[in-house]
Amino acid sequence: MNRLSRHFTTNPSSRALLLPRILPNHSSGLFPNKILTLNPNQSLIQSFTRLSLHGPLSDAMAALETIDSRCLHAADPIDYLHLIKLCLSAGAADAGRRIHRHLTSAGYLPVLFLSNSLLGMYVRFGLIDDARQLFGNLPHRNVVSWTTMISAFIDIELGREALEFFVWMQRDGIRPNMFTFSSILRACDTLRDVWAMHCCAIKHGLDSDDFVRSSLIDAYFRCGDWESGHLVFNEIITGDLVVWNSVIGGFAQTGHGHEALKLFRQMKRAGFLAKQATLTSALRACTGMVFLEMGQQVHVHLLKYKPDLILNNALLDMYCKCGSLEQAEVNFERMHEKDVISWSTMISGLAQNGRSLEALRIFDLMKAEGAKPNYITMVGILFACSHAGLVEDGWYYFRSMNQLFDIEPGSEHYGCMVDLLGRAGKLAEAVKFIHEMEFKPDAIIWRTLLGACRVHKNVSLAAFAAQEILKLEPGDEGTCILLSNIYADAKQWSDVEQMRKMMRDRGIRKEPGRSWMDVGKETHVFIAGDFSHAQMEGIGRELERLISRISNMGYVPDTEFVLHDLGREQKEESIRYHGEKMAVAFGMMNSTSGKPIRIMKNLRICGDCHAFAKLVSRTEGKVIVIRDPVRFHHFQDGACSCGDYW
How far is the CA of 295 from the CAs of 299, 300, 314, 334, in angstroms?
Answer: 6, 9, 10, 18
Between 43 and 87, name the one with better pLDDT.
87
Strands 597-601 and 522-527: unpaired
Q: What is the DSSP string of 457-489?
A: T-HHHHHHHHHHHHHH-TT-HHHHHHHHHHHHH
Residue 107 contacts residue 16 (beta carbons within 8 Å):
no
H or E element, residue 636? strand 632-636
Closest CA relative to residue 464, chosen from 486, 433, 439, 492: 486
**Is the pLDDT at 455 greater than 70, yes or no?**
yes
Q: What is the pLDDT of residue 194?
A: 94
pLDDT tens digits for 284-325? 999 988 889 889 999 998 888 887 899 999 999 999 999 999
Q: Which of 23-37, 314-328, 509-523 has the weakest average pLDDT?
A: 23-37
Residue 607 contacts residue 619 (beta carbons within 8 Å):
no
Q: What is the pLDDT of residue 562?
A: 56
d(CA 421, CA 427): 7
Give 543-576 as a 3 state SS string: HHHHHHHHHCCCCCCCHHHCCCCCCHHHHHHHHH
Q: What is the pLDDT of residue 106?
A: 65
What b/e readout covers 251-262, taking b as 16+ CB neighbours within 10 angstroms?
bbbbebbebbbe
Q: What is the pLDDT of residue 571?
A: 57
d(CA 117, CA 225): 37
pLDDT, mean of residues 548-576: 69
How far is the CA of 563 from the CAs of 308, 426, 610, in angstroms?
Answer: 51, 25, 17
d(CA 418, CA 432): 10
How far is the CA of 355 from the CAs of 328, 351, 455, in angstroms?
Answer: 13, 5, 21
pLDDT, mean of residues 426-452: 93
pLDDT tens digits for 196-216? 999 999 999 998 888 899 999
Confidence of residue 219 (pLDDT cuts 50, 70, 90): very high
The mean of the pLDDT values for the chain is 86
**Is the pLDDT at 11 greater than 70, yes or no?**
no
Question: Please, what sign has the CA dihedral across residues 408, 412, 417, 418?
Answer: positive
Q: Which residues pair with 640 in a beta bridge?
A: 635
Q: What angle do CA 42, 43, 46 make, to 5 degrees?
A: 85
Q: What is the pLDDT of residue 55?
A: 79
Strands 597-601 and 514-519: antiparallel
